[in-house]
C-alpha cells in the first residue's frame, strides 16, 4: 500500500508485486477532508478512511512519502499530523511502515530524482499498464510510492538478511 500523506487530500494506493519488476494495480483513490472542519474531526475522518482501506486490502506493508519541509508552515504541520495518524493506523494493525523521500520515489520510478509531475504520471501509467493517467496528482503519487517500495523492498530484505547473517556469524 502506498500513501501520499496529506490532510486536505491524501493519496492511497494498493498494488501487487508480480514477477521481476512487474507490478499490478489493485486500487487507487484520494481521501479528502474539508478545510472548513476542525482538526480533530479531520484527523478522525482520515484515520477512519485509511483504516478501512487497510482492513479491506490487508496490505503486507505500507510505504509512505516522507514530509518535505517546504512551503507553508501550516500545511506542513497539517501533513505531519496526518502522517502521524496514518503511521498509527498501520502500527495498530501490525503492518510495517517504510518511508521514502520524494526524490527517492522519483529516482526509482523515472531514473531522475528531479522528475516533474507530468513525467512521473506518464511513467506510472506505463509501468502499471493503465489505460489512462491516474488523477488527481495525489493518486498518481500514491501509486509511485507503492511501486518504488516494491522495487526497493527485495534489496532492503537482502540487506537485512545480510546484516542478520553478519550479526549471527
Three-state SS string over 107-155 comes to HHHHCCCCCCHHHHHHHHHHHCCCCCCCCCHHHHHHHHHHHHHHHHHHH
* All three cell numbers of 147: 511501486
Contacts (CB under 8 A) with a copy of itself, residues 44-63: 44, 47
Does position 77 bind a copy of itself by CB under 8 A? yes
From the list 24-32, 83-91, 113-121, 156-164, the region that binds a copy of itself by CB under 8 A is 83-91
d(CA 82, CA 75): 11
* 60 is known to lie in a ligand binding site: no
Does position 164 bind a copy of itself by CB under 8 A? no
The question of whether 141 is a catalytic residue gets the answer: no
- DSSP-derived letter for residue 68 is P
* Closer by beta carbon to a copy of itself, 26 or else 77: 77
* All three cell numbers of 102: 520524494
From the list 23-31, 81-89, 120-128, 131-139, the region that binds a copy of itself by CB under 8 A is 81-89
The question of whether 65 is a catalytic residue gets the answer: yes
Residue with grid cell 511513467, as numbered in its chain: 123
Contacts by residues 117-120 (CB-CB < 8 Å, ≥ 24 positions apart) = 120/144
* 138 is known to lie in a ligand binding site: yes
Q: What is the binding site for a copy of itself (CB under 8 A)?
A: 38-41, 43-44, 47, 67, 69, 73, 77, 80-85, 87-88, 90-92, 96-97
Indicate which residues carry an active-site annotation. 4, 65, 138
Amino acid at each position: 500500500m502506498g500513501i501520499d500523506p496529506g490532510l486536505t487530500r491524501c493519496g492511497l494506493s494498493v498494488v501487487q508485486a508480480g514477477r521481476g519488476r512487474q507490478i499490478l494495480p489493485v486500487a487507487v483513490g484520494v481521501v479528502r477532508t474539508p478545510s472548513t472542519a476542525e482538526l480533530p474531526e479531520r484527523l478522525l475522518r482520515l484515520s477512519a478512511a485509511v483504516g478501512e482501506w487497510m482492513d479491506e486490502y490487508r496490505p503486507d506493508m505500507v510505504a509512505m512519502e516522507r514530509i518535505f519541509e517546504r512551503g507553508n508552515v501550516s500545511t506542513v504541520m497539517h501533513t505531519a499530523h496526518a502522517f502521524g495518524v496514518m503511521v498509527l493506523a498501520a502500527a495498530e494493525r501490525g503492518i510495517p511502515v517504510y518511508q521514502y523521500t520524494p526524490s527517492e520515489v522519483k529516482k526509482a520510478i523515472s531514473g531522475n530524482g528531479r522528475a516533474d509531475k507530468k513525467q512521473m504520471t506518464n511513467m506510472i501509467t506505463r509501468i502499471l499498464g493503465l489505460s489512462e493517467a491516474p488523477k488527481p496528482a495525489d493518486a498518481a503519487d500514491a501509486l509511485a510510492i507503492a511501486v518504488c517500495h516494491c522495487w526497493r523492498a527485495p534489496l532492503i530484505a537482502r540487506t537485512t538478511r545480510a546484516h542478520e547473517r553478519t550479526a549471527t556469524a
